[in-house]
Amino acid sequence: MKLVVLGSPGAGKGTYTQELVKRLNLVHISTGEIFRHLAQEGNPLGLKVKEKYLSQGKLVPDDVVISLVKERLSNNDCEAGFILDGFPRTLEQAEALQNIVKIDTVLLFKADDDVIISRISGRMTCQDCGRIYHMKNMNPKQEGVCDICGGEVLIRSDDNEEAVRDRLRIYREKTAPLINYYRKKGLLSELLINEDFGTHGEMIIARIMKVLGIN
Ligand code: AMP
């Protein structure tokens, strides 16, 4: 299964993508995660991209992201299926993706504005594996330590109020047009998720599986 997940920051796509990847045995390709890893490793491109774009909530130029994704998708591990998370984010990226691979479904995660703000304001992320936690109801068992890989769990530098406001604005301006783009192609499935993952996760995953035609 070859999937794209769309949704504004805080709509839940990261959390549910982690679950789908595990349950459906798919490769998780998160462009944001790839950039954060490159920067963490001290890679010159990663450091430049982090300073100029990520830390300010700005989009990395299309040509840089497209070539990164093209290379990642050419890897053999993608043949059995993947979830693209955070790509495409512009119409130019969507057109480029169409020339690289055929996508089966695009899942659009939606949530009300107040839910989005409360999710982002308490969000913490593992620096190593990208696992998402939340201060309110999904803390790691040991403070600051990832349950899955033992990595350091921190608030992302672009999860501050100013960068989040910019990311939401850019999402509405550049990424939201992709909703119609994929709707017209008959690929879009929409999910409104205002409930907490902590208490309603299984029910929501069942809804997503149904949308994907999996029992
Ligand atoms: P994310 O983890 O998906 O929220 O992405 C974090 C940041 O990485 C974004 O705010 C952008 O600066 C950059 N980024 C990730 N994916 C893309 C993309 N497809 N196009 C442009 N910038 C991206």
Nearest ligand 1 atom to alpha carbon 58: 12
Establish whether residue 175 lines the binding site of ligand 1, counting it when its CB lies within 6 angstroms of any ligand atom.
no
Rounded to 10 degrees, the C-alpha dihedral 156/154/197/59 comes to: 10
Would you say residue 133 lies in a domain? no
Spatial separation of the C-alpha atoms in residues 101 and 70, rounded to whole Å: 9
Whichever domain contains 23, its CATH number is 3.40.50.300
CA–centroid distance, residue 77 to ligand 1 (Å): 22
Establish whether residue 130 lines the binding site of ligand 1, counting it when its CB lies within 6 angstroms of any ligand atom.
no
pLDDT of residue 45: 92
HSE toward the beta carbon, residue 67, CA cutoff 13 A: 5
Would you say residue 46 lies in a domain? yes
Would you say residue 136 lies in a domain? no
pLDDT of residue 15: 87
With CA atoms as reference, report the closest residue to 32 among 108, 118, 127: 127
Q: List beta partners, residue 214.
A: none
Where are the extended beta strands (E) located within the chain? 2-7, 27-30, 82-85, 105-110, 123-126, 132-134, 153-154, 188-192
pLDDT of residue 97: 98
Task: Please say if 13 is a catalytic residue.
Answer: yes
For residues 2 and 103, the answer to whether their CB atoms sit within 8 Å is: yes
Nearest ligand 1 atom to alpha carbon 53: 12
Task: Please say if 23 is a catalytic residue.
Answer: no
How many structural domains does the chain have? Answer: 1
Q: To test ligand 1's pocket by mutation, which of 34, 54, 126, 156 has the most ligand atoms within 8 angstroms of CB?
A: 54
Task: Please say if 172 is a catalytic residue.
Answer: no
Task: Please say if 131 is a catalytic residue.
Answer: no
pLDDT of residue 81: 95
For residues 145 and 38, the answer to whether their CB atoms sit within 8 Å is: no
CA–centroid distance, residue 215 to ligand 1 (Å): 32
Enter the pTM of the model: 0.87
Would you say residue 204 lies in a domain? yes
CA–centroid distance, residue 31 to ligand 1 (Å): 6
Would you say residue 129 lies in a domain? no
Per-10-residue mean pLDDT for the chain, 215 residues long? 93 90 94 92 94 90 97 94 96 97 96 85 88 89 95 86 83 93 97 88 93 88
Domain that holds residue 205: 2-112+171-212
Nearest ligand 1 atom to alpha carbon 93: 19
Would you say residue 51 lies in a domain? yes
Name residue 164's amino acid: V
Task: Please say if 123 is a catalytic residue.
Answer: yes
